[in-house]
């Protein structure tokens, strides 16, 4: 093929390239609030970046559930890309946790569990520095398309603040992000302390390790 024809074809391709399949441009996924401060449900979160699935995770060792559950975590794409660069979350980050019941009997399945269609819960963690006193806020969605902010006195905030690996988010359970946060040195001091091996004083006489209680 001669160069002229090739050029014509190429320019033709550019000129007449079909419109993007999606009607709307890629949603930027910044949090949107109602006039009375409720968060609008992020309808397109399933197009976002997948971080993890937890299975039967529980904060309470004694908890004995009569059913199994999966949770799936998603991040809005802009925030995810920023995390890859910096190891932490930018302003306007939205993280979604959806909970689904585990199913075992269906189709050809003989063992193990898969995720059911019904949503059992959907919670959003939003970073909006100018809006929330602690920079982040939680919103739990029920059947409505808007949700009020979970009060800051709720246990959600203290557990996330005290135990989460990066900026009140549980990056220690998000396998693609933990190595990045570790490399960039953005792990929270409380998490670093939590995972530090116990220092043995008897092995290090006169060493620099601090005395254990």
The interface region with ligand HEC, picked from 26-34, 41-49, 78-86, 121-129 by CB under 6 A, is 121-129
Per CB under 6 A, 156 contacts ligand HEC? yes
Q: Could you count the other beta carbons within 10 Å of the beta carbon of residue 178?
A: 17
- Per CB under 6 A, 120 contacts ligand HEC: no
d(CA 36, CA 206) in angstroms, rounded, equals 60
Q: Which is nearer to ligand HEC, 120 or 203 (CB)?
A: 120
Residue 176 binds ligand HEC, judged by CB under 6 A: no
Radius of gyration, alpha carbons of the chain = 23
Cβ-based nearer residue to ligand HEC, 161 or 184: 161
Count of chain residues binding ligand HEC (CB under 6 A): 22
Question: To the nearest whole angstrom, how small is the minimum distance from the Cβ of residue 22 to ligand HEC?
Answer: 26
Residue 213: CB atoms within 10 Å: 3
Q: Which residues, 6+ apart, have CB-to-CB distance to 100 below 8 Å?
A: 69, 70, 71, 72, 115, 116, 117, 118, 119, 120
CB of 120 or CB of 159, closer to ligand HEC: 159
SS3 label, residue 169 = strand
- Smallest gap, in angstroms, from Cβ of residue 186 to ligand HEC? 14
Residues 83-112 contacting ligand HEC, CB under 6 A: 95, 97
Pairing between β-strand 49-55 and β-strand 114-127 as defined by DSSP bridges: unpaired
In the complex with ligand HEC, which residue's Cβ is closer, 13 or 175?
A: 175
Judged by DSSP in three states, 140 sits in strand
> What is the nearest approach in angstroms of ligand HEC to the Cβ of residue 55?
9
Q: Please identify, using beta-carbon distances, which residue of 9 and 32 lies nearer to ligand HEC.
A: 32
Cα separation, 201 vs 209, in Å, equals 7
Contact predicate 134/149, CB 8 Å: no
Closest contact distance (angstroms) between CB of 201 and ligand HEC is 31
Closest CA to 50 of 72, 28, 35: 72
Enumerate binding residues for ligand HEC (CB under 6 A).
Answer: 52, 54, 57, 59, 71, 73, 95, 97, 123-125, 138, 140, 150, 154-156, 159-160, 169-170, 173
């Amino acid at each position: 093929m001669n160069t002229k024809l090739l050029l014509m074809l190429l320019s033709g391709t550019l000129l007449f390239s079909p419109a993007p399949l999606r009607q709307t441009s890629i949603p930027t996924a910044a949090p949107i609030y109602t006039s009375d401060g409720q968060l609008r449900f992020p309808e397109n979160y399933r197009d976002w970046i997948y971080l993890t699935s937890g299975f039967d995770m529980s904060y309470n060792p004694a908890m004995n559930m009569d059913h199994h559950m999966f949770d799936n975590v998603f991040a809005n794409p802009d925030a995810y890309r920023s995390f890859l660069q910096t190891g932490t979350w930018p302003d306007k980050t939205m993280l979604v946790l959806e909970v689904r019941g585990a199913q075992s009997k269906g189709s050809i399945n003989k063992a193990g569990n898969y995720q059911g269609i019904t949503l059992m819960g959907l919670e959003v963690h939003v970073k909006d520095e100018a809006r929330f006193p602690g920079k982040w806020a939680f919103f739990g969605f029920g059947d409505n398309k808007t949700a009020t902010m979970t009060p800051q006195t709720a246990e959600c905030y203290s557990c996330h603040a005290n135990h989460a690996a990066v900026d009140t988010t549980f990056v220690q359970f998000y396998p693609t992000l933990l190595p990045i946060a570790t490399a960039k040195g953005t792990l929270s001091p409380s998490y670093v302390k939590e995972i530090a091996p116990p220092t043995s004083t008897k092995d290090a006489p006169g060493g620099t390790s601090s005395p254990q209680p």
